[in-house]
Amino acid sequence: MEDFEKKLSMKDAMEVEEKVAASTSSIVLLLRRFLEIQQRRAEAYSKLKRGFSEYMTSGGELNYQQLCSEITVEFNDCSKNVIELESLFRSPDYSRVDLAQLLRAVQVQEKQKLHLTATIQMLKKAGRPSERLVSHENCKYRNSKEHECVHVQEITEASGTQEAEEDAEYDNALKEAIRGVQDAVTTINEHLEEVRYEIAALEAE
């Protein structure tokens, strides 16, 4: 009877170990899937950056808008996948709220990064106030070569100061957005290092 109970106890222990091993393996797979999603995001950003540079160099508003639409779909899909992983980690099957919170922290930073990236591109498209091109569609033309430009005005100290202030405001907004993206990237990379550390720790068990 004692031998039977001992064997039964050993069997239970082995089943527990197998479940733990399976759970550990599943967690590693989920975390690796998360890293793959982050790689997709990085590739999407590279594509967006490249497309924006081409747009600023040669124009092509339609192509740029199409690219933005494609990137938006990709980012939305990535976010959806991460939310699903986060939900799994919070479920009773895993009960790893710490990992769910880690993924949530990355999501928050990714949202901020995307918002600021869009801000940077919007500012660069507009250009500094003093360097923006002027449209002459409302001007009066005497002939094909001469016209009365409605934009010509007396340059005063006040107007010069206003233009300088607008340029300074633009420069500050651009610098702030760039700094915000850099901060978000730094924080995201720190979180990804935590994920890699967790994977290494689980695989070492």
Kindly report the backbone phi and psi dihedral angles of residue 135, in degrees, each rounded to the nearest multiple of 5, phi listed first: -90, 135
pTM of the model: 0.76
Count the residues in the chain: 205
pLDDT tens for the chain, residues 1 to 205: 556 455 545 545 444 444 544 588 999 999 999 999 999 999 999 999 999 999 988 888 899 999 999 999 999 999 999 999 999 999 999 999 999 999 999 999 999 999 999 999 999 988 888 876 555 455 555 555 555 554 445 545 555 677 788 889 999 999 999 999 999 999 999 999 999 999 999 998 7
Identity of the residue numbered 66: Q
CB 128 within 8 A of CB 171: yes
Dig out the tokens for 15 from the structure: 């089943």
DSSP symbol at 128: -
Helix-strand-coil split of the chain, %, nearest 5: 80, 0, 15
Chain center to CA of 17:
39
* pLDDT of res. 111: 95
* pLDDT of res. 1: 58
**What are the structural domain ranges in the chain?**
2-128+137-204
Taking the alpha carbons at both ends of the chain, their separation in whole angstroms is: 34
CB 162 within 8 A of CB 94: no
Hey, which bits of 35-184 come out as E strands? 140-141, 147-148
* pLDDT of res. 107: 97
